[in-house]
Amino acid sequence: MSRVALATVVAAISGYLVLLLAARGLGADGYAAFAVFWSAFGLVTGTQNGQLQETTRAVRGARMKDGPAPGARPMPLNAMVGLGLGAVVAVTAIGWATTVFESHRLESVALLSVGVAAFGIYAGLGGALSGLGRWGPFGTLLIVDALIRLALTVIAVATGWGLGAFLIITVAGTVSSAIVLLFLRPARDALGVRGDVAARELARNTFTAMAAALASAILVMGFPVLIKLSTSGDLDSAAGAVILAVTLTRAPLLVPLNSFQGALISRFVENRDRLLAALAVPLGIVIGVGAVGSVAAWLLGPWLLENIFGGDYRLSGTTVAALTAGAVAMAALTLTGAMALAAGRHRLYATGWWVGTAASVGLLFIPADLEVRVPLALIVGPLVGMAVHFVAAARAGSAHEVPGQLTGDRPLPTE
């Protein structure tokens, strides 16, 4: 786990540096265009995180059983899903690319398609390594991803490359899976690992997890796209400031959580008889860090935005603090979602995310200033979704279910 912790630190630092260099190198208007592509890529690959999550659950569930794993191999399914999504992006782009991307449309669609296809392997490998408890190779996968992006960003800024270079940088980290597979035998061994359910159930569970992950991705990575859709006209510097602040306030909580997603699901699977107790420690850490962060954001946020990123990025302390509170709510929803998935409540897991997303999207379109509706959407929506996940945990405990044997929400007898 120490490698995963190191990977989390590296990913967090790398992410901040990439954003800092992009914001300073592109300006507020250019950064807004970059952030929309970044979020579009994150929207699709965030959906694919459902592949990683279900693969982790299936592989961990299989390892908790006696004897050889009886289920299907997750990797072929993950590869096919990645290729399929990449094709869908390319085929459907004619209907949405002109609305979402203000420039570099052809390059954006091509890079998005290739990156999404490659991420299928990345998600499958990450899930298999997490389920096997191979935290060293898993941490290496995360570190290589982060360092590839950072190295290319430094080169782009030093050579004066423009927006197009940052589009390439966004998807470049997905090649990390190929590098790890080339040099680490444990990673290659993970390709053939089996899960705890048959192929049809694995596919159904994976697509259900992806449906929930899509809702998560809409709220996390796709939020700049939603801001664009809910704002009349082109995005101005004020919108760029809000988008940057949303990204910066989330990173200290969501980057570590994303890195530890596999470990969290494994923890909940192993403690399925006391899910709420297993949730207490990570949730307490998130709330504690978030409380301190909200105060710091109120005091220092506006000054940091203007002095580090430039005078175009101006927001009030109240807005930055409220956005930080929204990041806390999102992190808490991520935790309760992992708990619901580990409990085998795939449908309630997805429902929680979609109910929360619907509430957030609805609040984004209320007639109010951007600095009011964005924090409101980011706080209220996740709280609604968390309530559904707590219902899932309560039902799992009362039914004494075995998550590794579940399909949807139907309890099956233990073996």
List pLDDT tens digits, range 286-301.
999 999 999 999 999 8
Encode burial over 73-110: b for 16+ CB neighbours within 10 A, e otherwise: bbbebbbebbbebbeebbeebeeebeebbbebeeebbb
Phi, psi of 313 (to 5 degrees): -95, 85
Within a 13 Å sphere around the CA of 389, how many CA atoms are in the beta-carbon half?
27
Predicted pLDDT of residue 274:
82
List pLDDT tens digits, range 36-71.
888 888 889 889 999 998 999 899 888 877 666 678
Predicted pLDDT of residue 328:
95
Predicted pLDDT of residue 408:
37
pTM over 0.85: no
Predicted pLDDT of residue 237:
67
**pLDDT tens, residue order, the chain (415 aa):** 677 778 777 877 887 788 788 887 887 777 878 888 888 888 898 899 999 989 998 998 888 776 666 788 999 999 999 999 999 999 999 988 888 887 788 889 999 999 999 999 999 999 999 889 898 888 888 888 888 888 998 898 888 788 888 899 989 888 888 888 878 888 888 888 998 888 899 999 999 889 888 888 887 777 777 887 877 766 666 777 888 888 888 877 887 787 777 778 888 888 877 888 888 988 999 999 999 999 999 999 899 888 887 777 888 999 999 999 999 999 999 999 888 888 778 888 889 999 999 999 999 999 888 889 999 999 999 999 999 898 877 776 554 444 444 333 333 333 3
Q: Report the DSSP beta bridge partners of residue 407.
A: 410
